[in-house]
Structure 1
Amino acid sequence: MSLPTRAEILRFIESAPGAVGKREIARAFGLHGEAREGLKALLDELADAGALESGPGRKLHAGGGLPRVTVLQVVEAVGERIFAVPVKWEHATPPPRVRVVERGRRGALGLGDRVLARIEGTGGGYTAHPMKKLAASALTIVGTARREGAAWRLTPVDKRARHDFALSDYDGPEGELLLAEVRGSGARASAHVVERLGDPFAPRSLSLIAISAKGIPHVFSDEVLAEAEAASRAGLGPREDLRALPLITIDPADARDHDDAVWAEADGDGWRLIVAIADVSWFVRSGTALDREAYNRGNSVYFPDRVVPMLPEALSAGACSLVEGEDRAVLACEMAVSADGAVISARFGRAVIRIVANIAYEDAQAAIDGRATSPLTDGVLRPLWGAWGALAKARAAREPLELDLPEKQVLLDEAGNIAGIRVRERLDAHRLIEDMMIAANVAAAKALEAKKLPCLFRDHEAPSREKLVALKEYLATIGLKLALGQVVKPALFNRFLALTKDRDDATEIAEQVLRSQTQAYYAPDNRGHFGLSLASYAHFTSPIRRYADLLVHRGLVRAFGLGEGGLGDAEGARFAVSGDHVSLTERRAMEAERETLDRYVASHLAGAVGTSVRARITGVTNFGFFATVDGIGGDGLVPMGALGEERFDFDEAARTLTGQHSGTVYRVGQRLELALADANPVSGALRFAVPGVVPREPYARGGGRRRDGRGGRGDRGGLKRPGRRG
């Protein structure tokens, strides 16, 4: 009697209506006697490979994929909090994030380390017990080639990097941007070229640096592209027909995709509001190569010159983008809103819509203000503004955190060169869309809670006591008192910001309040959203560019029986892992976008080296202070050596540097004129000098070591373009 294959056993377990064990499998395949012993060995092999897991009563179910012993790589190492992911993962589901328990010497494992570990299931996840630390895998970095005598060196683009590396196997031009592997350690470490990325000064190259340095996936496989193309041609399925309603999108003028549309009408004393979101769950099905790639990316990444999309263009800019005049599939949230902004009821359904207009924020605002004429003003825009007026009342009543910090926008010409940098204007049209999206997000979270189905919440916890005390102590150094009660609410910060909005250091105070806040994250446990003053909050409105929203969509499809593409049990059970993953990809994207903006600012200022700029001190340390250029941003260091021969005392609590003889004080928030000494577009770093102050050696030479312990690499002269001498 032959044994079933592994695939046959797994198919049987997955298709069984209830939990099964060895007895049920033997009965299904007619196994007796010695064959049952063979089955036991086969099931043990499947369990060892991670394909099967045991549940209550020794019942079996398809495993998450972790074998009992496997190789892990550390992805987070902060104190005793260590998490890792499997190095090898070939399943359709997201890889699990495993808690690592160090024994003996703590701190032995660091970020990127690989370890052979014994795996234990904990019911809600896995715990790893290290057995052996493995040899380090090659470190991949991005840098520029620099000639040093007869040898070549690689200068990392990361401005936090402390060392250059000897560069092997290179015969290209000086200044070329390279992707390289660092092999070896210590003084013997050397970089080996993996890919030549070209001239870092060429138009549209600055974002490529971040893409390479952060390891952001940006090339779709042929399989994924083919799946996306096929999905884009699929029919829309059975849906409610909302094409008669004049829904519109309101987005930035340079929006690359449109995933949310709105419509409103008066309904008695209140409003009927529809927020229609691209139905990505219809096109991207769980377990496909397309879905795995979307999960891997986690979100789209937006740069001044390009977007790295979560989904291929056939979907992100095609079938899923709500473009004017085309039939589009949506998941619609219809809400009844009272006169005071309370959402009385909400329902979700799949629908087909036809957008009547894609409108820019500025154009919508001009029409509603009477500065421009539009056929949509009275019938479409004014009802939207009326519904928003009600939602704004509810927002004011709950008093969310109101931090209105300026957002920078890089302007490029047709060739991709920088035309300017400006602060984005904040309009009522922005607030309207924001409040309507928040209302729909809350409705989605509450709907899944009511149905008792898994929900990937957008959690934002209250500031820690330690951060609040640090904020209070800082404010005390500038003569301000922050009264901290037992329960801290956003309204406390709002009142404080309102009282200080006319001060010269108002921007710095707002930034310090922002730094006191915790970082939002995705998780299946509802911790509420402190910043928005909401008890339940999820992301529902941007599934084209955020995988978390796609998971919420799948949950709603299942909750309301809306057809295919709903959330599966296994997918819902892994929300903790998925939440961790998309939180990490979100942070990766934010870092890449921020660092690229720094590079554009540095590139914009490169022609102004040697001139005076107005700047604001943003940070003070024991090795100097950091400043940002007024109006356009860009952070730069004034090293201690640039302050001359005088010694300065550092006051950590007051965040000041005070000259021992002159009494000169440099403090956070202070505005002053600085000389721009260097602007490095590749690293995004600026370096300033103090006019009239003679820097002390070795800073003046641009060599030696600085007070922060870093070498003088950043003090060398300007970068060279590939192929240029001098």
Structure 2
Amino acid sequence: MLEDDNFAQEVKKYKNPIPSRQFILKVLKNKPLKKKQLIKHLKLNETQYKALSFRLSAMVRDKELNCNREGFFRIYKNNSSMVGKVIANPKGFGFVELNAKTKDLRLSKQQMQFVFHGEKVSVRLLGHKDSPLDAEVVKVIERIKTLVGKIVVKNDKCYLLVDDKRIFQQILLPQEKVKNNKKSKIVIVEMMTYPQKEKLATARVISILGDYLSEGVEVDSAIHRYQIPNEFNKKVQKEMEKIPDKVLEKDKKGRVDLTNLAFVTIDGADSKDFDDAVLAQKTQTGYKLFVAIADVAHYVNEGSALDKEAIERGNSVYFPNRVIPMLPEGISNGLCSLNPEVKRLCLVCEMDISNQGEVNDYQFYEAVMFSKARLTYEQVDDYIYHNKNLPTKNKEVLKNIKHLNDLYKILNKKRIKDGSIEFDLSESQIIFNNQLKIDKVIKKSRLNSYKLIEECMLVANQMAATYLEKNQIPALYRVHPKPKVEKVISSNEFLKTFGLTLPTNNNYSTQDFQKVFEDSKKLPNHHIIQVVLLRTMQQAIYTDKNEGHFGLGFEKYAHFTSPIRRYPDLIIHRAIKQTLKNKSFKVKNLSSIGEHCSMTERRADEASRDVMQFLKCVYIKDKVGDVFSGSITSVTAFGLFIELDELLIEGLAHIKDIANDYFIFNEKTFQLIGKRTNKTYSLAQKIKVQLSAVNLEQRKIDLLIK
């Protein structure tokens, strides 16, 4: 039986003493315990519970104890800390992201003063009773080395105003002279010292991207801010020197010759990298569909410098007026791109499809093709629906377009019937003039010709996943998890106001969502209802486990059709090609590659969205005072987010600026309700607003309700 040698001192100090720190350490020496177990072991009464909680927290603070996520206290050891990435909130506090399957730990404002967003840290739990996920930084493992931002002058000193608002610390630029920085410049800095108690971080300028608001600077800034690789190293450049600029005769051997068939590419007007070409032929039982995909795997070998760079990038990143490719342009826009009237190597998925849209048979094979025409979505749409001529007179091409359109209708009808959710959200497009200045922002709807190609890609991707699973080939699947119950319940409250409903017992299916989507088409607020349904969904990911795609309603799905711009597609190609040659296929760290590619996809989306928001702010800043019509897209406790019609630009009407009442937020119905007038603002409600202010640095647009 252990004895508390220091208990007499505790009696002298406190009216209601508890076991000493030394005794608690003795008790926990051989076995970690939770607080309740410790209370029982120490035979404490209720009046001592609170004092013990304070003591345990103090012992964790003083690094005498550790407390893990399950609430077990044990003797402090340096190796009991956890490693994660700092995720900062612009309000000053932050989190540590450990992994996708566990809850994030919380860092206080005080802790966040000494670390930057994105840094890798070692942390430990503080063991607070009311905040069990509160943590402190033990060590910064990986520091942010460089930052991008605007030079600002304050009190005769130069500082960096970091472009990423999640990094809020002041950074002094001691080597910069005030007289040289009267005009704001966007710069990249290298960190010299990091924030400490009563000491600012310091940095030095290593690159000037340009003057604030200069054309293209916003993209350069985003590339650096999101740490997107944008330069190919010398090893990659050396490998590119060995790659031919045209298809060699020796590379055609053993491939099916499809050069006489009327393949076409249908892409955006500004596209330069053509992954896919399509051909549809009418048969007695339905259609034969050929989806030919650029054979990138023939030129990019696993483990090569090109391959390593492609893994690192994960995908191409598309900004308005600029692309950061996954592979060098010699491959992405040249040798592998299915350009018109040149022979190209491809991997083909050939499918026999019935008049009801069922795939009766399919096969994959390596081939050589020759695109007969490079067409745009607008050209094909005008030809099919507006009787306008295509830029080709080739009768076989025209016949192909007709068959593709007929097959599209069949495939789309079957997919929707099977319950696939077809969101049809418009996007905003920025139009630039010849001086690369923003000319206008327009609403861009998805054309039927785009949907035509999409249907062809969807069915080919399904067949790729089917082939992989049938042959038990390890590869990356495109998985879309089922929505979380709490999200569905939350969205359901809003949907009920329109007479729509989703099951909330975790038995909901894709068909349930599709029914709500179809029913909402009869309503004037269909667009916002789509947005709410989309927000209910989880993000799709890449994983080595086939768990189906909820949104599409597919049991098996993989990305096969874009190896020029997505690394998971390149893995699928290698897997199929090796299996066709009766060779085994295996990728090291496949699961980790899936996680990495999921991250790079999110990174690309965030960077593109950030640049789009900045450019929208630039475009609309001269329209302060103008009145617009819009729809409420989100209701929060601090105000209303409103999307301006036609422009698809979103701004905030802050609750403090909504006049004549005190408004209360109803989180169940997504409404702001006036306490005195009962005036109600709801999701999807049409509303008139005035543009009151634009903050370029924070990408914020402020609105006033008229």
Please give the range of the TM-score, normalised by the shorter of the 2 chains: 0.7 to 0.9
Q: Tell me if structure 2 keeps the 8 A contact 1:76–1:82.
A: no
Q: In 2, distance between residues paired with 1:175 and 1:520?
A: 40
Question: Alignment partner for residue 206 of structure 1, among 193, 218, 222?
Answer: 218
Counterpart amino acid of 2:336?
C
Aligned residue among 84, 101, 104 for 1:74: 84
CA contact 2:119–2:144 (8 Å) conserved in 1: no
1:177 aligned to 186, 194, 197, which one?
Answer: 186
Q: CA deviation at 1:606?
A: 1.5
Q: Residue 243 of structure 2: SS of its match in structure 1?
A: helix
Q: CA deviation at 1:402?
A: 1.8
Give the match's secondary structure for 2:459: helix
Q: Label 1:155 to 1:393 Cα distance change in 2 as closer, same or farther (>3 A).
A: same
Q: Which amino acid aligns with 1:190?
A: A
Q: How far did residue 682 of structure 1 move?
A: 4.6
Partner deviation per Cα, 1:493-524 (whole Å, 9 max, x = no partner): 22222222243432221111101111100001
Q: How many residues are paired up?
A: 589
Contact 2:83 2:122 in 1 (8 A): no
Q: TM-score, with normalisation over the residues of structure 2?
A: 0.77
Query: One-letter code of the match for 1:279?
Result: D
Query: What are the residue-to-residue correspondences of 1:88-127 with 2, within 5 Å?
Result: 112-114=118-120
Residue 190 of structure 1, aligned match among 201, 216, 221 = 201
Higher deviation after alignment, 292-301 or 496-505: 496-505
Tell me if the contact between 2:265 and 2:276 (Cα under 8 Å) persists in the aligned partners: yes
Partner Cα separation in structure 2 for residue 489 and residue 403 of structure 1: 16
Pair 1:638–1:174, CA change in 2 (3 A): farther
Structure 2 CA distance for partners of 1:357 and 1:345, relative to 1, 3 Å: same
Change (3 A) 1:346 1:672: same
Matching residue within 301, 308, 315 for 2:324: 308
Change (3 A) 1:424 1:209: same
Aligned to 1:459: 479
Q: Is the 8 A contact 1:145 1:153 kept in 2?
A: yes
In 1, Cα distance between equivalents of 2:675 and 2:145: 44
Structure 1 residue 554 displacement after superposition: 0.6
**Counterpart Cα distance in 2 of 1:321 and 1:194:** 36
SS in 2 for 1:188: coil
> Which of residues 274, 279, 292 in structure 2 aligns to 1:263?
279
CA 643–81 in structure 1, closer or farther in 2 if over 3 Å, else same? closer
5+ residue gaps in structure 1?
Answer: 1-68, 85-97, 118-129, 692-726
Superposed counterparts of 1:387-536, under 5 Å: 387-476=407-496, 480-484=500-504, 487-536=507-556
| Range with bigger deviation, 504-513 or 302-311 | 504-513
Equivalent in 579, 597, 605 of residue 612 of structure 2: 597
Distance 1:356 1:185, change over 3 A: farther
Which deviates more, 622-631 or 437-446? 622-631
The one-character-per-residue Cα deviations of 1:67-108 (angstroms, maximum 9, x if unpaired) are: xx9x99734889997249xxxxxxxxxxxxx99999xx9xx9
The residue number in structure 1 matching 2:155 is 149
- The 1:150/1:301 distance shift into structure 2, 3 A limit, reads same
Please name the residue that 1:276 is paired with: 292
Deviation at residue 295 of structure 1 after TM alignment: 0.4
For 2:627 and 2:636, locate their aligned partners in 1 and report how far apart those are by CA, in whole Å. Answer: 23
1:17-28 → structure 2 map (5 Å cutoff):
none
Residues 145 and 173, structure 1, Cα contact 8 Å, conserved in 2: no
Could you tell me which of 213, 234, 240 is aligned with 1:222?
234
Residues 76 and 165 of structure 1: CA distance in aligned 2, closer, same or farther (over 3 Å): closer
**Aligned partner letter, 1:677:** S
Query: Is the 1:610–1:677 contact (alpha carbons within 8 Å) kept by the matching residues of 2?
Result: yes
- Contact preservation (8 Å) 1:603, 1:680: no
Aligned CA RMSD, in angstroms, stands at 3.2
C-alpha distance 623-179 of structure 1, shift in aligned 2 (>3 A): farther
User: Where do 1:204-353 residues align within 5 Å?
Assistant: 204-233=216-245, 235=248, 236-238=251-253, 239-353=255-369
Contact 1:477/1:653, CA 8 A, preserved across alignment: no
Partner of 2:389: 372
For 1:396 and 1:639, how far apart are their aligned partners in 2? 40
Q: Distance in 1 between matches of 2:170 and 2:140?
A: 25
Residue-by-residue CA offset, 1:450-502 (whole Å, 9 max, x unaligned): 11111210001111111111111233356644444653222212222222224
1:596, 1:684 within 8 Å by CA — same for their partners in 2? no
SS at match of 1:316: helix
How far 1:426 sits from its partner (Å)?
2.2
Structure 1 pair 147–668 and aligned structure 2 pair: CA distance change class (3 A): farther
Match of 1:706 in 2: none
Closer/same/farther in 2, CA of residues 642 and 143 from structure 1, 3 Å limit: farther
Aligned partner of 2:702 in structure 1 is 687
Q: Residues 516 and 674 (structure 1 numbering): CA distance in 2 closer, same or farther, change over 3 Å? A: same
Q: Partners of 1:165 and 1:134 in 2: how far apart? A: 18
Separation (CA, whole Å) in 2 of partners of 1:164 and 1:383: 62
Question: Letter of the aligned partner of 1:343 in structure 2?
Answer: V
Q: Is 1:647 the equivalent of 2:634? A: no
**Aligned to 2:151, what secondary structure does the other structure show?**
strand
Q: Which runs of 5+ in 2 are unaligned?
A: 1-78, 88-93, 124-135
Distance, in Å, in 1 between the alignment partners of 2:646 and 2:228 is 30
Deviation string, structure 1 residues 168-197 (Cα, Å, up to 9, x no partner):
433334321123356215763335234322
> Which residue does 1:61 correspond to in 2?
none
Q: Distance in 1 between matches of 2:499 and 2:170?
A: 44
Change (3 A) 1:141 1:631: farther
- Partners of 2:344 and 2:455 lie apart in 1 by 23
SS in 1 for 2:219: helix
Q: How is 1:536-685 mapped onto 2 (pairs within 5 angstroms)?
A: 536-561=556-581, 568-569=585-586, 571=587, 573-643=588-658, 646-685=661-700
Q: Output one character per residue of 1:335-358: Cα deviation in whole Å (capped at 9) or x when no partner.
A: 111121111111111111111111
User: Could you say what secondary structure the match of 2:643 adopts?
Assistant: strand
Superposition deviation, residue 660 in structure 1: 3.2
The answer to whether the Cα contact below 8 Å between 1:326 and 1:355 also exists between their aligned partners in 2 is yes
Aligned CA distance change for structure 1 residues 459 and 481 (closer, same or farther; 3 Å): closer
**Larger RCO, structure (CA 8 Å, separation 6 or more):** 1
Percent of aligned pairs sharing the same letter: 32
Are the counterparts in 2 of residues 448 and 559 from structure 1 also a CA contact under 8 Å? no
> Shift of residue 448 of structure 1?
1.2
Name the aligned partner's letter for residue 199 of structure 2: R
Task: Tell me, in whole angstroms, the C-alpha distance in 1 between the residues paired with 2:320 and 2:190.
Answer: 28
Is the CA contact (8 Å cut-off) linking 1:159 and 1:685 kept in structure 2? no
With over 3 angstroms needed to count, the CA separation of the structure-2 counterparts of 1:217 and 1:173, relative to structure 1, is farther
Residue deviations 1:549-606, cap 9 Å, x none?
00000100111118xxx8753x2x4211110000000000011111111111111101
Q: Is the 8 A contact 1:599 1:680 kept in 2?
A: no
User: Following the alignment from structure 2 to structure 1, what is the Cα–Cα distance between the partners of residues 613 and 450?
Assistant: 25
